[in-house]
Amino acid sequence: MTQPAENQHFPFSAVVGADGPDGPDPMALALILTTIAPEVGGVLVRGEKGTAKSTIVRALAAVLPPVDDHPVPLVELPIGATEDRVTGSINLESALAEGKAEYEPGLLAKAHRGILYVDEVNLLHDHLVDLLLDAAAMGRATVERDGVSMTHEARFVLVGTMNPEEGELRPQLLDRFGLTVEVAAPRDPALRAEVVRRRMAYDADPAAFAATYTAAEAALRSRIASARDLAGAVHLTDAGLLKIAEVCAAFDVDGLRADIVTARTAVAHAAWSGRSQVTLADIRVAARLALPHRRRRKPFDAPGLDDDLLDQVLGDDDLPPDPDPEPDGPEPEPPGTAPDGGDAAHDADGEPIDAPASDATAQDAPQPSGGSGEGSAPSQVAATGSAYRTRLLTVRGIGTGTAGRRSRARTSNGRRIGATTPDRQGGRGGAIHLTETIRAAARHQLARGRTEGRLLLHPTDLRVAVREGRESNLVLFCVDASGSMAARKRMEQVKTAVLSLLLDAYQRRDKVGLVTFRGASAEVALPPTHSVDAAAQRLEELPAGGRTPLAEGLLEAAHLLSVEQTRDPQRRPLLVVVTDGRATSGADAIARSRAAADLLAAAGITSVVVDCEAGPMRMGLAATLAEHLGAEHVPIGEVSAEALVDAARRAA
């Protein structure tokens, strides 16, 4: 559901449905719990498009108890926001007109004691996500720039929404969100019909529709206020804290953030349920919200939680109360402590659980079809992927694209290499370069009639810093899936190399696409997207066989890059052609493939040819293709960064 232009928000209770936030809707519950205890650290909502993610977040603000008789502020952070807009900076008008360095608050200050909402947070620059999460965790924001040094309160509930198909957050950032929930559209036709019915009723008369939920909204607002008052008095026993530690250890999470967040969420849920002491039910709910996204072991693994393992660790018996303190004698050992002093998970009868965390993780991991362990076929191993660290492939020259980690570019962050006027910054904002601004104004002081006193500044004196950093690119893979690749059993090595390059693209925040060619034609297996996970899935399913239509593959890549250049002109492409260089499909196959390569070279496309040719007798066709493309030629065995280092050592 999309949010209409009217000021009347869609009622929160109408989005949650008849079951209410105590029912099966984890998104509503996660949002409510983090408003009860903002120290939980915010909520990340992952889900497909059209699942009312934005609608429910905007509706949440209307049911929260007012702050000092004012509605709770809801601040939306746009994807294109600059760091100055987020944290604040000096007021340019005051600086230029009056010579005063006055601080102008940013979005973090405006969101204080409210909700800061970031739609498509996975598309936000990483350094801005870091900044938001730091402020949300500490409850304050610090500004150090342009001669301004100050700290202000920034206690807000951070809510981010994202569509995983458009790309994932880095695991380091994913872990910083307190809670994560997955949402999807209902598959029950009756429920889908009810959603449409409510939406149409709202569009017809928003005020009348909202009025039907007035009582439900008031009751929800009152319950949230009561839960906030109760939260400070909720008791988490030592046994409950130990049980939380056992759960986190059983799921093999990194660090202690998961334990802390789970404990805070369990306390918030107990308050929401009207209890003054945390129970196993509270811990179970908290674990389901706080742990799934922290179990990710690889970038391409989907987050999830094994409910059977959770039930096994929690057991059936409720938590015992804290023992009475004993003034004399040794302290009793806490339940679940092993004889050697180590901690061990126990079941409801007090017996140790024999499934260690590593075994549980291994049991959850998908096994290749056709067997597992030593009996697995080599091709099946390639399907699951054994990625390695790759050499850095970059686009030639200096770009002006979105900040990332691949190619050199003029960006809004990075090292300062000079200054320029704002109109020559290509529409980009930038931090004021005070030294150069003063230097530009100094030469005009006599003409402006200044003989003493403060510097006379004019807007034309303004200079902004020029910074050089790294940009993200469009990495388009053009992969040969013909019979010449499959016959020599090269596809395992090819898929592993491409998967490793995909992992590198994921870490460098690139956009990726996949073109394959086999038989008599080429196809776009995956249009350019931020979802590297989708590319990895297409790669795993890639069939091989038939002749080698190399020319068709290159021409399809050229067409796709041309379309993307129109859509996103600032994102520079990097074409990675994975082939042995053979061209065997159609008349004049070799001549046509070289003509297609010349076309790409004339368009100025930076290319890399990953040479898959193997065996003692090599024809060198991939190297010739690289010459026509004006591309870097990389044997497939040298895609690995370690192999590149070894080759350099041998050359030395």
Name the residues annotated as catalytic: 257
Residue with tokens 């301004």: 148
Q: What is the CA radius of gyration of the chain?
A: 29
* C-alpha span between 403 and 410 (Å, rounded): 9
Residue 135, classed as helix, strand or coil, is helix
Amino acid at 89: S
Q: What are phi and psi of 175, to 5 degrees?
A: -65, -25
List all residues 6 or more positions away from 511 whose beta carbon is below 8 Å from its beta carbon: 472, 473, 474, 475, 528, 529, 530, 568, 571
Instruction: Encode 219-272 in three state secondary structure.
Output: HHHHHHHHHHHHHCCCECCHHHHHHHHHHHHHCCCCCCHHHHHHHHHHHHHHHH
Say how far residue 484 (Cα) sits from the centre of its chain. 38
- Spell out where 356-510 has E strands: 403-411, 415-420, 464-471, 474-480
Do residues 482 and 521 make contact, with C-beta atoms less than 8 angstroms apart? no
**Block residue for tokens 């950093």:** 469
Who's near 241: CB < 8 A, 6+ residues apart? Answer: 263
Helices assigned H by DSSP within 365-409: 378-384
236 phi, psi to nearest 5 deg: -105, 110
Give the list of residues 6+ apart from residue 152 with CB closer than 8 angstroms, or none.
105, 108, 109, 112, 140, 141, 143
> Of 122, 540, 472, which Cα lies nearest the Cα of 301?
540
